[in-house]
């Protein structure tokens, strides 16, 4: 941003006061007048009297004119070379050219005797000769002013050249920032981009070396990620611990940078001997931050002592900010790729899980079966299954795994596989539960558990044998009255030596059983009120002509209660209706 107000420009926005004073003094000397320079409001900008430097040059020029000094002091004004006055044009300690002035020859001073003799020889009027001599002397008296003006012009040309030089450097620096910005904006290979950044910084800022260090929070270190023109020996000097690195902590503060003029003597430098051996003296560190979060530090090093200008500091800070943004953007891009890959894997896992869930109930004479399954996420933690057993028996499983997402789905798959593996060889339900429990205790972490209901329905006798491991008790609707099936044991996966008990109930014609997970009763509306067991019983008590109608009616009543509230748990239910 400019340091001036474009709506209220001033003369000093374009020319400094020393230059204005030089112009005023030289003009006054040439025109033999008094001069002053004011602003638009009439306020005085320059001193009405010449500066000391101007007067010193006047004296030096007068001495040179009188023959008392052959050469004018270069620091005071132009030099005299024979009959010429020369003013060097110097920019950044380099002589770019010379402005030369040759005085026009003038007449000597004539007294009255010489004037009369000259008039006699020439035949001219003595008054005319005296008038001409006066004009020549006046021209000669203006020579010091002309020499001062020569000095002014040389300095003005030098200033203009230096301004052009500075402007070109600013353009180069802005071009570098633009190139870094464009390069970092499309960062895919971050390491190559960071390496190119340190090389470009060295080129633009004309420094010996550069490096980028990023913060490793776990190690409390600034770890080198990109370096240019620093030896392997120097890089291996030792760790840069962030908590004790006062230089980099200052750079990462609100100040944004830290300047070390001499790394060999500054007490803040941890590896001063290594710096001396490497041949680096001054160092400028700019903090890399992204949205207030510290990322790392961008450093530049010089082989000679250097006081970096504010423009150079701002340039390094700008590059550091762009590099920090690129690092974060690259991380986000990589996270996006990982998220897409994970999403792909989750989708594949979901498809596998869906294949484990029965898509339709088996057809059993005298038994009407239906199911509701509404997973909350792509991968669910609920399980339901129909297991066809010998002698026209049917196994019914409803389970709920603690937690959600991928871990819950994997445990769910393990429980399903374990139950199916054991029921082929084991008759007693409690033994099946005991073995599944021991498997979970062995293979899961503390806090991971499963509630499970496993029942076997004998079609011919209509007897249900079941074992409940901490699952919500199934509801029995008989002759308009709803009751819970008794008998409960500890959930699976907590205690490896837990003993499980099984129970028996004889079903009658017209009986309806509802096996469900707690996602049904825990469903909430916008008031954070759960649907609850009582509302479930009321909805279930309405019954229905088929198991499918009953299951859909229960689901409809729940959805009508919760409305559009986002679900946070899977919903699973099996309805068994005896003909």
Domain boundary assignment for the chain:
11-167, 186-333, 360-578
Helix (H/G/I), strand (E/B), else coil: 88 = strand
Give the Cα separation of 40 and 170 in Å (integer).
30
At residue 118, the pLDDT reads: 56
Decide if 186-333 and 360-578 have a common fold.
no
At residue 148, the pLDDT reads: 64
Rounded (5°) CA angle 417-423-427: 160
Superfamily per CATH, domain 360-578: PPM-type phosphatase domain (3.60.40.10)
What is the phi/psi pair of residue 500, to 5°? -110, 145
Give the Cα separation of 22 and 13 in Å (integer).
17
Give the Cα separation of 557 and 1 in Å (integer).
64
Phi-psi region of 459 (alpha: psi -120 to 50; beta: other; left: phi over 0): alpha
Give the Cα separation of 82 and 71 in Å (integer).
9
At residue 1, the pLDDT reads: 39
DSSP assignment string, 391-435: TTEEEEEEEEESS-HHHHHHHHHHHHHHHHHHHTT---HHHHHHH
Give the Cα separation of 69 and 80 in Å (integer).
9
Tell me the β-bridge partners of 209: 301
At residue 125, the pLDDT reads: 64
Please identify every stretch of the chain with a pLDDT value under 70, giving residue numbers as ranges.
1-7, 14, 27, 29-33, 61-80, 82-83, 91-92, 103-115, 117-126, 128-167, 169-171, 173-174, 176-188, 378
Give the Cα separation of 281 and 272 in Å (integer).
9
Give the Cα separation of 222 and 212 in Å (integer).
9
Residue appearing with tokens 């080198």: 224
Yes or no: domain 186-333 corresponds to CATH 3.30.365.10 = no
At residue 107, the pLDDT reads: 41
At residue 153, the pLDDT reads: 64
Residue 500 C-alpha from the chain's centroid = 56
Give the Cα separation of 89 and 97 in Å (integer).
5
Give the Cα separation of 477 and 233 in Å (integer).
82
What are 19-70's pLDDT values in tens digits?
Answer: 778 777 776 766 666 778 788 888 888 888 888 877 777 777 666 666 554 4
What are 384-408's pLDDT values in tens digits?
Answer: 999 999 888 999 999 999 888 788 8
At 230, list the tokens.
Answer: 């620093």
């Amino acid at each position: 941003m400019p340091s001036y107000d474009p709506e209220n420009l001033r003369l000093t926005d374009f020319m400094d006061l020393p230059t204005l004073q030089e112009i005023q003094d030289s003009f006054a000397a040439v025109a033999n007048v008094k001069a002053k320079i004011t602003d638009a409001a009439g306020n005085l900008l320059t001193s009405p009297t010449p500066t000391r430097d101007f007067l010193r040059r006047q004296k030096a020029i007068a001495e040179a004119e009188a023959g008392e000094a052959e050469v004018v002091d270069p620091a005071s004004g132009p030099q005299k070379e024979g009959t010429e006055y020369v003013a060097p044009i110097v920019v950044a300690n380099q002589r770019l050219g010379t402005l030369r002035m040759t005085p026009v020859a003038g007449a000597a001073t004539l007294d009255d005797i010489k004037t009369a003799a000259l008039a006699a020889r020439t035949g001219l009027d003595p008054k005319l000769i005296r008038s001409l001599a006066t004009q020549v002397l006046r021209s000669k008296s203006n020579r010091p002013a002309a020499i001062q003006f020569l000095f002014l012009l040389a300095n003005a040309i030098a200033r203009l050249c230096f301004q052009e030089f500075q402007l070109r450097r600013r353009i180069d620096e802005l071009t570098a920032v633009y190139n870094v910005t464009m390069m970092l904006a499309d960062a895919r290979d971050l390491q190559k981009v960071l390496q190119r950044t340190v090389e470009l910084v060295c080129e633009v800022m004309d420094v010996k070396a550069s490096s980028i260090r990023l913060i490793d929070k776990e190690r409390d270190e600034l770890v080198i990620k990109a370096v240019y023109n620093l030896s392997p020996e120097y890089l291996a000097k030792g760790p840069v611990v962030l908590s004790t690195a006062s230089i980099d902590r200052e750079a990462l503060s609100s100040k944004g940078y830290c300047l070390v003029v001499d790394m060999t003597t500054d007490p803040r430098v941890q590896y001063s001997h290594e710096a001396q051996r490497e041949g680096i003296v001054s160092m400028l560190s700019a903090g890399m931050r992204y949205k207030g979060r510290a990322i790392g530090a961008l450093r530049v090093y010089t082989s000679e002592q250097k006081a970096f200008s504010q423009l150079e500091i701002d340039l390094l800070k700008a590059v550091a900010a762009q590099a920090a943004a690129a690092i974060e953007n690259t991380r986000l891009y990589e996270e996006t790729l990982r998220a897409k890959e994970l999403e792909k894997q989750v989708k594949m896992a979901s498809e596998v899980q869906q294949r484990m869930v029965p898509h339709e109930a088996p057809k059993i004479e005298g038994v009407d079966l239906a199911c509701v399954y509404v997973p909350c996420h792509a991968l669910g933690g609920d399980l339901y299954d129909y297991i066809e057993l010998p002698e026209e028996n049917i196994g019914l499983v409803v389970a709920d795994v603690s937690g959600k997402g991928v871990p819950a789905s994997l445990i769910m798959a393990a429980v399903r596989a374990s139950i199916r593996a054991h029921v082929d060889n084991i008759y007693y339900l409690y033994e099946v539960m005991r073995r599944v429990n021991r498997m979970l205790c062995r293979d899961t972490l503390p806090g991971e558990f499963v509630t499970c209901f496993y029942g076997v329905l004998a079609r011919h006798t209509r007897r249900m044998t079941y074992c409940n491991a901490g699952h919500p008790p199934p509801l029995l609707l008989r002759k308009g009255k709803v009751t819970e099936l008794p008998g409960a044991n500890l959930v699976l996966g907590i205690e490896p030596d837990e003993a499980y008990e099984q129970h028996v109930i004889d079903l009658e014609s017209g009986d309806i059983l509802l096996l469900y997970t707690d996602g049904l009763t825990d469903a909430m509306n916008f008031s954070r009120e759960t649907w609850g067991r009582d509302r479930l019983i009321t909805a279930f008590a309405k019954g229905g002509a088929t198991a499918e109608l009953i299951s859909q009616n229960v689901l409809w009543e729940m959805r009508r209660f919760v409305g559009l509230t986002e679900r946070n748990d899977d919903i699973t239910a099996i309805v068994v209706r005896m003909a």
